[in-house]
Amino acid sequence: MALQDGTDSFYGSRKIFQALHDYCDFDRLVAYSTSIVDAKKMCISRQARYSGLIDVLDFAEGDNSELASTLGGTSTWVCVNADEAALPSQLAAAQSAGVDRVFIHLTGSPADAAALESAAGSLDYTLMVTGKLGKGGGGGGLILGEPSAAKDGVPIDDAFRVLVEGLTIPEASKRSLSLNMASDGSQLKEMRMAGCTRREECEALFKGQIKERTPDEIEAAKGNSGKAGAASVVEEVDERSDEEKRLAQEEEVKALLEKARVRGEENQKRMAAEEALKKAEREERLEYMRANMPPEPEDNKKDDDQKDGDDDKKDGDDKKGDDEGKDDGKGDGKGDGGDDKKDQDGGDDDGLALA
């Protein structure tokens, strides 16, 4: 799978690589631009390393004249922020390379959508038009319309999620459309309360099950709060019997429970796989640290042994000095005593001699 940005910079579209890695199953994602160095600066991040995106991310450089050679061997080509003037030659390159699936994103209504559809030829294409993408949080109501009805403000996360899911939704093939924020998000809210996934929301969008309602219909759906008991909406008459309604509700509950069970099992498997991966990474780091721990230098060992020997020798000298000091004290005392006695005797002799 190859991805190209019409601005020749992935600064504003680098998030789409992570979305493609998280929600699609591509063995190789090629970022195509005129500079591999700049593309790596934009696409390689901490999240790309931790999520495993970096293992499937590849880079190629060249201009539109070399696009066909880059697309050779790839099944899908995605172009975001596409340059409408360059699209005809790019689509021709995709056809010559044998690409199976093409998804083109334009920011701004095309001057001639019919000409672009004609240039796509036999390609399985989708042309999605948005206004200027917003940076706000996603998750709001969305609506699909005609290519000329594109408006600014669609969150970039929502736009890229619809694009990624649209690659594998059959109802998105051979279509030109616009993606906008919906003024009424009640349909989306009902789907989420029923436990629908984001992919199911995208499928409902491409199938046309989510439609834009007029302000009067929105107001009618909210109900007339100013008049108690007044009928706010004309409800459709359900001609089913009570038994049929009960059975339908039971089937719906069973389907929701089964969906919740499957989702729980998938979450358990995903969490177990993530924990096993983290454990393997921890063991790998510990093994790497053990293998790369520097050995203790021989000079340090020699110095430590010599230091221990000097300490033992010093302790022996101190003990010997203490013993010698003890002996000296005893001998001096005795000698002094003898000298004193001798002096006393000598004094007596001298006195007698003089007398």
pLDDT tens digit sequence for 82-101 = 999 999 999 999 999 999 99
Domain 2-213 fold is: Rossmann fold (3.40.50)
Tokens of 110: 């095309």
Query: CB-hemisphere CA count at 13 Å for 279?
Result: 6
pLDDT band at 159 (very low <50, low <70, confident <90, very high): very high
The pLDDT of residue 318 is above 70: no
Q: What pLDDT was estimated at residue 205?
A: 93
How big, in percent rounded to 5, are the helix, strand and coil portions of the chain?
Answer: 55, 15, 30
CA 21 to chain centre: 10
User: Domain map of the chain by residue range?
Assistant: 2-213
Q: How confident is the model at residue 319 (pLDDT cuts 50, 70, 90)?
A: low
How far apart CA 314 and CA 107 sit, in angstroms, is 86
What does the mean pLDDT of the chain come to?
A: 81
CB 3 within 8 A of CB 16: yes
Gap between the Cα atoms of 189 and 251, Å rounded: 21
Q: Is the CB of residue 125 less than 8 Å from the CB of residue 92?
A: no
Looking at per-residue pLDDT, the higher value among 227 and 55 belongs to 55
- Contact between 177 and 145 under an 8 Å Cβ cutoff? The reply is yes
Q: What pTM did the predictor assign?
A: 0.62
Above 60 in pLDDT, residue 215? yes
- Asked whether the beta carbons of 34 and 43 are under 8 A apart, the reply is no
pLDDT of residue 247: 85
End-to-end, the C-alpha distance of the chain in Å comes to 137
The amino acid occupying position 240 is R
Q: Would you place residue 254 in the very low, low, confident or very high pLDDT band (cuts 50, 70, 90)?
A: confident
Mean pLDDT of 105-127: 92
Question: Which of 8-22, 42-56, 311-325 comes out lowest in average pLDDT?
Answer: 311-325
pLDDT digit string (tens) for 164-174? 999 999 999 99
Q: Please determine, for residue 10, whether its predicted confidence score (pLDDT) is greater than 80.
A: yes
Residue 80 predicted with pLDDT over 70? yes
d(CA 101, CA 94): 9
**pLDDT score of 104 more than 80:** yes
pLDDT at residue 228 greater than cutoff 70: no
